[in-house]
């Protein structure tokens, strides 16, 4: 049996007299504590280390003893040791964690990571990362470095979006990307910023379609096929046409089958392929892209870049004519040939006739003729 250790048990009185009594105490019970006398601002204090935390006492109030460290630090230390043996414990200190405000840059980066995890498109992720870079530049230019979310105001967002070199359409596009990045932190702040409505881009139709097509054919064969299909099949060039695989065509190449998730309207479409388009098609493996010849399509800006280069060297194009002008020109020809806005809507893959009507702007076709007017017998 191990020898018994004796420590002093102390009876304390208000007049500081002490009565010392020897009591057997298990020293193991003190292993979690360390009691010492220290100083703070030239005054003696009692320091207790418990559970890896330091507790400081200037008096015995915590253990109901009327002694101060200034009166008798040694006696106060002994009193705390006795209380610790009897089971008293220092009150746990609550760690006060100071909340550090989140910066806008950090929030934007987190927003990008969330969108990547959610499987957003490569195009959206590319645009989102670009916004982080632009916002950093904006903060630097406006002397707003490390702007925090709690100080972010709609005026900051508006000044970021409204720039002399950004069109109204670009401003709205950037806003639509910025908003979901900050949605978790500031759900409605970006959306509360009002912007001017962009003026509609007029994709001026071609009057000399054959000449334009031949000029493009000499410039680039892939752009030539893209323009033929935009005009003849009325498909959208930058996604619907660019992402086409040979498996989207019927065996005789007379039809294209587009699922709802592959086109803007979200509806399944069957599109006829004119003979002049079929003549330049050479069918490949079903899963292969018709332009790249691989499983992966060409990059999303491929035709946009080609068109910009062609436009610089073309002698035929007018200022307001774009790649989408082929689709507008095709829409006008369908309406002229059928006189049916419903057929045009179906061919264009529009969810609303009103959208189809916008393709006929400036087309001088009389909606009413004399024979349509009421007659008097």
Is residue 264 a contact partner of residue 236, using CB atoms and an 8 Å limit?
Answer: yes
Considering only 22-31, 102-111, 192-201, 210-219, which range has the smallest mean pLDDT? 22-31
Reported as a single tens digit per residue, the pLDDT across 233-254 is 888 898 889 999 999 999 999 9
And the tokens for 236?
């959208």
Task: Find the domain containing 326 and state its range.
Answer: 209-358
Task: Tell whether 342 and 230 lie within a shared domain.
Answer: yes
Within-domain flag for 189: no
Q: Quote the strand ranges of the chain, DSSP E.
A: 6-12, 18-24, 33-40, 43-50, 53-57, 255-258, 269-272
Does some domain include residue 10? yes
Three state DSSP letters for 134-183: HHHHHHHHCCCCCCEHHHCCHHHHHHHHCCCCCCHHHHHHHHHHHHHHHC
Gap between the Cα atoms of 335 and 341, Å rounded? 7
Q: Are residues 127 and 254 in the same domain?
A: no
Assess whether 354 and 275 both reside in one domain: yes
Tens of pLDDT, residue by residue over 146-167, are 999 999 999 999 999 998 888 8
For residue 376, being part of any structural domain is answered with: no
Lowest model confidence (mean pLDDT) among 8-12, 35-39, 179-183, 332-336: 8-12
Residues 353 and 215 in one domain: yes
In a domain, 77, yes or no: yes
Judgement on whether residues 233 and 313 belong to the same structural domain of the protein: yes
Q: What pLDDT shows up at residue 203?
A: 79
Q: What is the percent of the chain with per-residue pLDDT over 90, rounded to a whole number?
A: 39
Position 98 scores a pLDDT of: 67
What's the confidence (pLDDT) of residue 228?
A: 94
Mean pLDDT for the stretch of residues 88-106: 79
Assess whether 109 and 234 both reside in one domain. no
Same domain for 305 and 331, yes or no, is: yes
Tell me: do 257 and 344 sit in the same domain: yes
**CA 247 to CA 288: how far, in whole Å?**
8
21/139 same-domain check = no
Residue 35's nearest CA partner among 92, 86, 90, 87 is 90
User: Structure tokens of 310?
Assistant: 């062609």
User: What does the pLDDT read at residue 352?
Assistant: 66
Mean pLDDT score of the chain, rounded to an integer? 82
User: In this predicted structure, what is the pLDDT of residue 225?
Assistant: 95
The verdict on 153 and 245 lying in the same domain is no
Closest by CA position to 171, among listed 157, 182, 181, 161: 161
Inform me whether the pLDDT recorded for 11 exceeds 60.
Answer: no
Q: Provide the pLDDT for residue 265.
A: 65
Same domain for 73 and 152, yes or no, is: no
Q: Confidence band (pLDDT; 50, 70, 90) for 371?
A: low
* Residue 12: predicted pLDDT: 47
Q: How does pLDDT run across 24-37, given as a tens digit for each residue? A: 443 334 557 888 88
In a shared domain, residues 227 and 342: yes
Q: How far apart (Å, rounded) are the C-alpha atoms in residues 46 and 50?
A: 13
Predicted pLDDT of residue 30: 55
Taking residues 96-124, report their average pLDDT: 87
Has residue 95 been placed in a domain?
Answer: no
Q: Look at the chain and report how many structural domains it folds into.
A: 3
Would residue 370 count as lying in a domain?
no
pTM: 0.53
Domain boundary among 135, 167, 182: 182
User: What is the pLDDT averaged over residues 61-71?
Assistant: 88
Residue 369 within any structural domain of the chain:
no
In the predicted structure, residue 132 carries a pLDDT above the cut 60: yes
The verdict on residue 196 lying in a domain is: no
CATH number at residue 272: 1.10.443.10
Asked which of 182, 199, 232 is the last residue of a domain, the reply is 182
């Amino acid at each position: 049996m191990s020898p018994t250790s004796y420590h002093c048990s102390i009876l304390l009185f208000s007049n500081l007299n002490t009565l010392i009594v020897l009591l057997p105490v298990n020293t193991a019970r003190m292993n979690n504590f360390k009691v010492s006398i220290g100083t703070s601002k030239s005054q003696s204090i009692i320091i207790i280390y418990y559970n890896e935390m330091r507790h400081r006492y200037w008096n015995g109030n915590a253990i109901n003893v009327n002694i101060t460290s200034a009166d008798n630090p040694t006696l106060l230390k002994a009193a705390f040791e006795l209380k610790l043996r009897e089971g008293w414990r220092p009150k746990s200190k609550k760690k006060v964690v100071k909340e550090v405000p989140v910066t806008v840059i950090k929030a934007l980066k987190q927003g990008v990571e969330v969108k990547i995890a959610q499987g957003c498109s490569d195009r959206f992720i590319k645009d989102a990362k670009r916004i982080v870079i632009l916002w950093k530049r904006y903060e630097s230019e406006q002397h707003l470095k490390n702007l925090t979310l709690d100080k972010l105001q709609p005026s900051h967002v508006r000044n970021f979006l409204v720039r002399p070199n950004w069109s109204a359409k670009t401003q709205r596009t950037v806003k639509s990307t910025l908003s979901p990045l900050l949605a978790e932190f500031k759900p409605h702040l970006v959306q509360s910023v009002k912007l001017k409505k962009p003026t509609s881009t007029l994709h001026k139709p071609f009057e000399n379609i054959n000449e334009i097509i031949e000029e493009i054919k000499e410039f680039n064969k892939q752009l030539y096929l893209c323009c033929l299909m935009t005009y003849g099949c009325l498909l959208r060039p930058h996604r619907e046409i660019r992402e086409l695989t040979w498996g989207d065509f019927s065996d005789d190449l007379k039809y294209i089958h587009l699922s709802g998730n592959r086109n803007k309207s979200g509806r399944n479409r069957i599109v006829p392929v004119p003979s002049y388009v079929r003549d330049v098609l050479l069918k490949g493996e079903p899963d292969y892209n018709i332009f790249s010849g691989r499983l992966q399509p060409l990059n999303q800006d491929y035709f946009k870049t080609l068109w910009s280069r062609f436009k610089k060297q073309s002698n035929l194009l007018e200022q307001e004519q774009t790649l989408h002008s082929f689709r507008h020109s095709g829409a006008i020809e369908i309406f002229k040939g059928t006189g049916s806005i419903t057929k045009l809507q179906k061919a264009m893959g529009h969810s609303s006739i009103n959208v189809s009507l916008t393709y006929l702007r400036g087309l001088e076709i009389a909606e009413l003729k004399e024979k349509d007017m009421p007659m008097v017998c």
